[in-house]
Amino acid sequence: MSIRKTLENYAPFILTFALAFIVLAVLYKFKTTLLPFMVGLLLAYLLMPMVKVIEKRIPGKSTAAETKRAFAIGFIFVTFMGVIAFAGFVTITTIAHQANQIMANASTFVTTVMDKGHQLTSAIYDRAPANIKSQVDGLFKSLGDSLTGSLTGGTSAGNSFAKTITGSFGTIAGFAAVPLFLFYILKDSEKIQENIYRELPPQASKHAKAVVGIIECVMGRYIRAQIVIGSIVGIVSFAGFLVFKVPFAYALPLSFANGFFDMIPTIGPFIGGGLVGVIVLALVPKAIVPVLILMVVIQILKNIFIVPKVASDCLRLHASVIIFLLVIGGVFWGVWGVVLLVPIVATLVDVFSYVRSVNAKSGTKPPGAALPAD
């Protein structure tokens, strides 16, 4: 088969993955700038079903559709912000209360530890040979010189910090604009899509709608997978807290918080575990060790059994492939890779299947498709 014929047969696949690569490269290159708008699009995807439900329940003629949509969005905004404000107030109040209890006992605890440590180090130092003592003294002198140098270089560090804050101004401004961006996306989402599809050729418009539908479907399955995983973690945490004598009034919100933060890949389990550890240490100090062990065991079992199984069922990828993608994403792209690589690959797999089905219907087959079976 000639090279030209081969390229013609492979053209849809090459164009599909070339376009996907370019889009992903641009998104990764400008990830900091685009992050607020990506968050806004994700919130729009999550809130749109609620907007449509409320819009349908508002009485009135169809001519007032825009007014009904705006009212539904405003109602969700007020409710959403109220829930966030209430949850934030309760969380901050709880953390502050528990932190005060910890700090009230911290002085006695720290003093005891320091006394024991001083006694132990003094006993070891007094019995050490002279050359060991001189090396230890030299080590502490070096540490002191390093500390002095660090303090002397505080001006340059302050300048670097100022540059970091200045560089983050654009991202902060972007997040400040998210509510307005989200409002217009929710209000005019159908019009925006229609205008985009109208500017494309008929055949391209058809395929663009199909690809957008695939992306929405994969994102929906991915979000459902994260909710299922977070729910399992929350239920298991709640049962463990009750076993370890954590009061029910605290076990329920702690398990909810642990399951909620666990839906955030990579950093979420550390945030949830730290919050649980601080509050349990203040309320039930005797249970802190078994609770921390429980947190570690939950994460190990989740990553070995739950994540691959649930994610493979929802994203239609084999468990071994998901584990491989999580490792590769973390090694090469850090948190972004862990969060995005799995749904991106799942989307590309579905897009590839769609392209193959379109080619099969049109009679175009990739090389090798017509080879006789063994």
The pLDDT of residue 203 is 77
Identify the residue with better confidence: 338 or 350: 350
Q: Is the pLDDT of residue 157 over 90?
A: no
Q: How many CA atoms does the CB half-sphere of 99 hold within 13 Å?
A: 8
Q: Provide the Cα torsion 17, 21, 24, 26; round to 10°.
A: -140
Give, for 108, the enclosing helix (H) or strand (E). Answer: helix 65-127
The answer to whether 329 and 340 have CB atoms below 8 angstroms apart is yes
Query: For 87-110, what is the mean pLDDT?
Result: 61
The pLDDT of residue 8 is 62
The rounded radius of gyration (Å) of the Cα atoms in the chain is: 28
Give, for 191, the enclosing helix (H) or strand (E). Answer: helix 178-199
Identify the residue with better confidence: 94 or 283: 283
Name, in order, each residue with C-beta under 8 angstroms of 261's C-beta and a sequence gap of 6 or more: 268, 269, 271, 272, 275
Q: Is the pLDDT of residue 363 over 60?
A: no
Query: For 27-51, what is the mean pLDDT?
Result: 81
The SS3 assignment for 303 reads helix
pLDDT digits (tens, 9 = 90+) for 291-348: 989 999 998 888 888 877 777 777 777 777 877 887 888 778 777 777 778 888 888 8
What percent of the chain stands above pLDDT 90? 5
What span, in angstroms and rounded, lies between the C-alpha atoms of 349 and 271?
33
Average predicted confidence (pLDDT) for the chain: 75
Helices (H) and strands (E) in the chain, counts: 13, 0
Identify the residue with better confidence: 230 or 2: 230
pLDDT digits (tens, 9 = 90+) for 107-148: 555 565 566 556 666 666 666 677 666 766 666 666 556 655
What percent of the chain stands above pLDDT 70? 68
Domain range summary for the chain, segments of one domain joined by +? 1-164+172-187, 203-363
